[in-house]
Structure formats: C-alpha cells, structure tokens
Amino acid sequence: MASNTISVQKLTHGLRGTLTVPGDKSISHRVAILGALAHGSMRVQNYLCSADCMNTLRAMQQLGATVTPGEKEGSFTLTGTGMAPIAPTHDIDCGNSGTGMRLMAGVLAALPFNSCMYGDESLSKRPMKRIMEPLCLMGADIRACGTKPGCAPLRIMGGTLKSVDYTLPMASAQVKSAVLLAGMLTHGTTTVHQPAITRDHTERLFAHFGIPCRVSEDGLDISVEGPVHIKAKDITVPGDISSAAFWLVAASVVPGSELTLKNVGLNPTRDAIITVLKRMGADIEITPHTMDGEPYGDITVRYAPELHGAEVLAAEIPNLIDEIPVLAVAAAYAKGTTTIRNAAELRVKESDRIATTVGNLRAMGADVEEFEDGLAVTGGTPLHGAEMDSYGDHRIAMGFLIAGLQAEGRTTLLHCENINTSYPGFEEHLNQLTAQL
Ligand code: S3P
C-alpha cells in the first residue's frame, strides 16, 4: 500500500536497472469477468493485484466463480460458473474503478437477477449514462441512484436483452466493451461502431476464449454473435504499458538513465505513448517477444538530452488517454511546445485530469495553457519542487512524483494511497531506483 504522502528530491544520478511493472489493468478486469462466466478452470498468471482489479475479482466470486490462489502474487486458478452465475448476496463494491463498474454493468444487465454496484467518492461522480444508454436500448433496466444525476450506485434489474447495432458517441473502450459483453449473452448479432480505434483487449480475449467476434478491416466496427460459449483457457497477463509509461518518461528526462522494463504489453491500440515519446526525441528500444493474443516485449529507455515538443494527433488520443498526465510532464522537460487537444474525456477520469495536470504543472513553474479539450505545455523552463495534491488520482500522484525527479528541491504529493488502484509496488520501485548510486 502506498504511503499517504510521498516526497522525492531532484536526482543527482540516473535511473538504472531492470524493472518488471505489474500486470495490465484493462486486461486483468476482462480476464476476471470472462473467466468467471467460462466453462472449466484456467490458470491466470500476472493478474494485477491492485485494488481495482481485486474488486472485480471479488465481484466475480460473488457471482459464483472460485479462485484458488497460486504460489506467486497474481497467479491463481479461476473456475468459471459455466455461463450460470448466481445472484450476488450483497452489493458489489467497485471501489475507484470505472472500468470494473462499466464492464460489469454489461454483464449484470443480461443476467437473470438483480444487483447493485457502488463505488468510492470519485467513481460516484463519474458518468454512467454512457453505458446505460446503449444497454437500455437493448432492453436493460438500470437505474443510476447517485446523488449526482446519472451516477452510481447503479441498480440493475437483470433479464433477457435484445441485440443492438450501436454507434458510440465517444471513443470509449469501456462503453464498447459493456455493449459487447451484454451482446455476447444475448441472442443475435450485436454490433458496435466506434468513432476512433480504442483499446481492443475485449476483442482479443473473445478470440482467446473461442468467442466468435468480427472486426471490420478498419477496426472500427465490432460484432459479436450471442449467446456464446466461453471455454476456460490459461492466460498470462502482460505488464501494463500505462504503468511502464512513468518510467519511460522518468528515464527520458533524468540524465544518466538507462532502464529496461520487462514483459510490457505492446498492444498497438495502447502503444502511442511510445510513438509520441519517440516523436519527441526519446531513446526507446523494443525487443518484442512471441505473440499469443496480446503482443508484449522488453523496452529499454535511455536519457534523451534533446527531448523536444511535438503535436499529439487526434487519432492517438484514445490510444494514450491514461498516459497524458505523465506525457505532459515529459513535455515540461522538452524544448518547445507539446500540444494535446481532442482529449475532453480527461475531464471525466478519476479526477478532471486536464485541470489537475495543468494545476500541478503550474505549481512547479511550468508554462502551460489550458483548453476545454486539452493543454499545451511549453518546456524548457526549469521546474521547481512543490507540495501538490494528487486529488485522489493514482496517475496524477505517480506522474508528479516523476516530475519531481528533475525539479529543483523537494516535491511532495499528498493523498497517494490511490496509487494502489493501478500500481501496487510503485513506491518500492521508486525507492529502489532513486536510492541507487
Ligand atoms: C479502459 C478504457 C479507457 C481508460 C481506462 C481503461 C478500459 O477508458 O481510460 O483506464 O479498460 O477499457 P474509456 O473507455 O472511458 O476511454
């Protein structure tokens, strides 16, 4: 568990060595959900044992799946319910996780019992209408009972749904997946059309579990034919590129750094952080490993003395949406301006990530312009340490601790416990790398 308050000092040495970041958050949620419905048992390895993904795994146990712990952290045998989950006896706690709640809503809406999901303060303010709308078009009965309209807790009166042909109003893998998960439990063909490519872990896992799923050549339209038969199959979750991103930026901006990150997921719908950092002049080398469902590999990153600003393309935004806070930190250490637009979705993440990123960068003396849909950072001005809030947002906490590694003096982040939602062990990795001589 990360400490409440974490401080770092400007480093006088590079970050060096080899690191293994924890398992991918998006894939872990989906493995728990699909494995819990499957026929048979499967061995899961490198599951992300973070607060978010453990909440989803516990929810699946409430639906009747069984989990037998293995020897290593993140390994267990998951025995599915053979497409016959049972009604949960108490309300499902989704903690901080929008992914957990939105994906499970798709499944729960199509099951023959009632359920209720709730979350923490941040999750209780996040928009749920985006999944309620398509699921209600399928005939689902979902009520958002939060004090904020359209927000959790969600009461779901489960039942038989009808298939749908749905065009997503925003590029969201969570909404896409909620509809596809409901569709796989429903008679007929459910099709989702996306305005831009979003992470395709659901589609890849459908293929892994033998679920028939068609993806158009341009990757924008996805169909699933329900009801499906899910056959349990062993799986190893690759490392999370969103967690690796903190070290890609840290090593790029701290002189003398050379880090190798092992077994990181390199799914092409998630790797734009590498493309954009390279466009900015980062020194990043990839050694790919054999693909089985999800591509992965080792990434070596070295200090980049000539880091410069770049434009992030609109089509790249969904591909690096979670990495934008730390990308903005890289931009503050790069010469020239980095512009990030078309990213209004950041306003409805664990915090309003445009406001929190801009506010914290300014607190460190960076030159930042805020837009409704993004930000522009002009780097080159030396940053100074500051005491900043993480606003209960794991990626803001980690992103600004990384910013502190090259800022004059001391940088302190308050309310860092939420780091545990995606990267348990971050503080240990930080201590390990910063302690080196
Ligand atoms: C996720 C999709 C993204 C991302 C989130 C995880 C997923 O959210 O920000 O951290 O696992 O599907 P949106 O679908 O809201 O873009």
Q: For residue 129, how far is its CA from the centre of ligand 1 (angstroms)?
A: 15
| Residue in 242, 437, 230 with CA at minimum distance from that of residue 320 | 242
| Binding pocket residue ranges, ligand 1, CB within 6 Å | 26, 99, 172-174, 177, 199, 321-322, 345
State how far the Cα of 212 lies from the Cα of 56, in Å rounded to an integer. Answer: 24
Ligand 1 atom index nearest CA of 348: 15
β-sheet with 374-379: strand ranges across:
311-312, 336-340, 374-379, 367-371
Q: For residue 75, how far is its CA from the centre of ligand 1 (angstroms)?
A: 24
Catalytic residues, by residue number, are: 322
State how far the Cα of 199 lies from the Cα of 318, in Å rounded to an integer. Answer: 8
pLDDT of residue 349: 98
pLDDT of residue 22: 98
**Is 310 exposed, middle or buried, given 0-12, 13-18 or 19+ CB atoms closer than 10 A?**
buried
pLDDT of residue 2: 75
Residue by residue, pLDDT tens for the chain (437 residues) are: 778 999 999 999 999 999 999 999 999 999 999 999 999 999 999 999 999 999 999 999 999 999 999 999 999 999 999 999 999 999 999 999 999 999 999 999 999 999 999 999 999 999 999 999 999 999 999 999 999 999 999 999 999 999 999 999 999 999 999 999 999 999 999 999 999 999 999 999 999 999 999 999 999 999 999 999 999 999 999 999 999 999 999 999 999 999 999 999 999 999 999 999 999 999 999 999 976 689 999 999 999 999 999 999 999 999 999 999 999 999 999 999 999 999 999 999 999 999 999 999 999 999 999 999 999 999 989 999 999 999 999 999 999 999 999 999 999 999 999 999 999 999 999 999 999 65
CA-nearest residue for atom 10, ligand 1, is 322
Of 24, 26, 273, 393, best ligand 1 pocket probe by most atoms within 8 Å of the beta carbon: 26
Domains, the chain: 6-23+238-434 (3.65.10.10), 25-236 (3.65.10.10)
State how far the Cα of 206 lies from the Cα of 185, in Å rounded to an integer. Answer: 13
pLDDT of residue 437: 58
Ligand 1 atom index nearest CA of 318: 16
R_g of the chain, CA atoms, integer Å? 21
Ligand 1 atom index nearest CA of 171: 16
Of 28, 30, 172, best ligand 1 pocket probe by most atoms within 8 Å of the beta carbon: 172
DSSP 8-state secondary structure symbol assigned to residue 294: B
Residue 414, classed as helix, strand or coil, is strand
Q: For residue 177, how far is its CA from the centre of ligand 1 (angstroms)?
A: 10
Q: For residue 172, how far is its CA from the centre of ligand 1 (angstroms)?
A: 6
Ligand 1 atom index nearest CA of 172: 14
**Is 179 exposed, middle or buried, given 0-12, 13-18 or 19+ CB atoms closer than 10 A?**
buried
Q: For residue 385, how far is its CA from the centre of ligand 1 (angstroms)?
A: 31
Alpha carbon distances (Å) from 46 to 136, 236, 406: 35, 6, 32
pTM of the predicted model as reported, rounded to 2 decimal places: 0.98
pLDDT of residue 236: 97
